[in-house]
């Protein structure tokens, strides 16, 4: 999954770099504030990808004594930085440019054909980047044995814990929307001779960026502070464990993502009476196997099973670590 994420990030990185340069040239030639806002947008997107790559790289570092569960949450951290700083800064700068241009009577647009060409090229690059990110989501959906469709894509977006893919999907969606708004603003300004529409486009792009920044920050905040597995996976795990005859009931089950494909699962269960040591060992193995069946990517060393039974000695009541 990391390789898939990196492929999507690299596609977005090179695409956004080319787009940012092209939009800057168009902004200089045309004097369009909307194109300048789009330049800021694409420039921030380019730097976003660099930070996402930093997160992917640092998240693969081996676990240490100080960080025994590894560095998987580095991806969540850098994605949070992308959302709060870069998206937010781009949005605020776009708003500022829009407000300034509204009060500047000398603001005029020229050579609009250049803007249209650049916007069309930008839309092509953004659509290709979005296609790569959607391809990564498609692979994830098919790996679960589900069919690709609108509903499965929505569920994948809601349940995905890969911040790189989520960020790229949001970025590219915002970029395509921003391109459309910039194009409409430039067109209306050209047709009416009133540059207010161009300024309003910049304001609209700024608002879109801020809204998307808030959404991404919220998603990554949940992962940073410790988000559990999805309700669907939770029910699947509980159902499989309850199917074990020796399990009387599940007392507690807690989970937390340590990385997009690294989840910690702790389970406390109550067993039926009359089990000997070997039988208890077998039940624990069955519980762990069922968890792995429900969540195929779970690391066995991240599954902790504790038996709750007052009359058990410390030999029976324990936390198991492989």
Q: Above 80 in pLDDT, residue 291?
A: yes
| Per-residue pLDDT tens digits for 127-139 | 888 888 888 777 7
| Per-residue pLDDT tens digits for 151-194 | 777 777 777 788 888 888 888 888 889 889 988 988 998 888 88
What is the band of 268 on the pLDDT scale with cuts at 50, 70, 90? very high
Please choose, from the candidates 209, 39, 29, 195, the residue with its C-alpha nearest in 3D space to the C-alpha of residue 187. Answer: 195
Distance CA 216, CA 193 (A): 37
What is the band of 309 on the pLDDT scale with cuts at 50, 70, 90? low
Mean pLDDT across the stretch 64-84? 89
Q: What is the pLDDT of residue 256?
A: 94
Q: Where are the alpha helices (DSSP H) in the chain?
A: 2-30, 33-58, 74-81, 88-102, 112-143, 150-159, 163-192, 196-225, 231-242, 277-294
Tell me which DSSP letter residue 62 carries. Answer: P
Mean pLDDT across the stretch 295-303? 88
Query: What tokens were used for 302?
Result: 């991240």
Distance CA 255, CA 93 (A): 40
CATH superfamily of 2-225: Cation efflux protein transmembrane domain (1.20.1510.10)
Q: Above 60 in pLDDT, residue 273?
A: yes
Q: Above 60 in pLDDT, residue 321?
A: no
Distance CA 201, CA 197 (A): 6
| Per-residue pLDDT tens digits for 203-257 | 898 898 888 888 888 888 888 888 999 888 899 999 999 999 999 889 999 999 9
Q: Above 80 in pLDDT, residue 142?
A: no
Please choose, from the candidates 197, 217, 212, the residue with its C-alpha nearest in 3D space to the C-alpha of residue 41. Answer: 212
Instruction: Give the three-class secondary structure for 313.
Output: coil
Domains of the chain, by residue range, sit at: 2-225, 231-307
Tell me which DSSP letter residue 84 carries. Answer: I
Mean pLDDT across the stretch 76-88? 83
Tell how far CA 102 is from the center of its chain: 35
Q: What is the pLDDT of residue 319?
A: 41
Q: Above 60 in pLDDT, residue 313?
A: no
| Domain 231-307, CATH number (from 3.40.50.1000, 3.30.70.1350, 2.60.40.2480, 3.50.50.60) | 3.30.70.1350
The model's pTM? 0.76
Please choose, from the candidates 256, 265, 270, the residue with its C-alpha nearest in 3D space to the C-alpha of residue 300. Answer: 265
What is the percent of the chain where pLDDT is above 90?
18
Looking at per-residue pLDDT, the higher value among 308 and 81 belongs to 81
Q: Above 90 in pLDDT, residue 16?
A: no
Sheet containing strand 262-271, strands side by side: 247-259, 262-271, 303-307
Distance CA 98, CA 259 (A): 39
Please choose, from the candidates 81, 71, 280, 296, the residue with its C-alpha nearest in 3D space to the C-alpha of residue 167. Answer: 81
Query: What tokens were used for 181?
Result: 């708004």
Q: What is the pLDDT of residue 134?
A: 82
């Amino acid at each position: 999954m990391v390789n898939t994420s990196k492929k999507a990030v690299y596609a977005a990185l090179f695409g956004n770099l080319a787009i940012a340069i092209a939009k800057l040239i168009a902004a200089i030639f045309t004097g369009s504030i909307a194109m300048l806002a789009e330049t800021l947008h694409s420039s921030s997107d380019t730097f976003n990808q660099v930070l996402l790559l930093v997160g992917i790289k640092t998240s693969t570092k081996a676990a240490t004594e100080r960080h025994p569960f590894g560095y998987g949450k580095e991806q969540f951290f850098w994605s949070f930085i992308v959302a709060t700083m870069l998206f937010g800064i781009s949005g605020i700068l776009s708003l500022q440019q829009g407000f300034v241009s509204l009060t500047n009577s000398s603001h005029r647009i020229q050579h609009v054909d250049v803007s249209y060409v650049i916007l069309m090229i930008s839309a092509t690059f953004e659509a290709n980047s979005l296609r790569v990110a959607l391809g990564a989501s498609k692979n994830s959906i098919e790996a679960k044995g589900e069919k690709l469709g609108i509903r499965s894509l929505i569920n994948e977006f809601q349940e995905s814990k890969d911040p790189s893919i989520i960020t790229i999907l949001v970025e590219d969606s915002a970029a395509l929307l921003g391109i459309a708004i910039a194009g409409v603003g430039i067109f209306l300004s050209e047709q009416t001779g009133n540059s207010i529409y161009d300024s309003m486009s910049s304001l609209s792009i700024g608002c879109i960026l801020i809204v998307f920044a808030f959404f991404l920050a919220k998603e990554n905040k949940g992962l940073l502070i410790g988000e559990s597995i999805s309700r669907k996976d939770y029910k699947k795990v509980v159902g499989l464990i309850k199917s074990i005859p020796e399990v009387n009931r599940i007392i507690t089950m807690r989970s937390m993502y340590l990385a997009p494909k690294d989840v910690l699962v702790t389970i406390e269960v109550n067993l039926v009476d009359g089990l000997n040591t070997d039988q208890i060992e077998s039940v624990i193995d069955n519980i762990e196997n069922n968890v792995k069946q429900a969540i195929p990517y779970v690391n066995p060393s991240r599954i902790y099973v504790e038996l709750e039974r007052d009359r058990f000695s410390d030999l029976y009541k324990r936390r198991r670590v492989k």
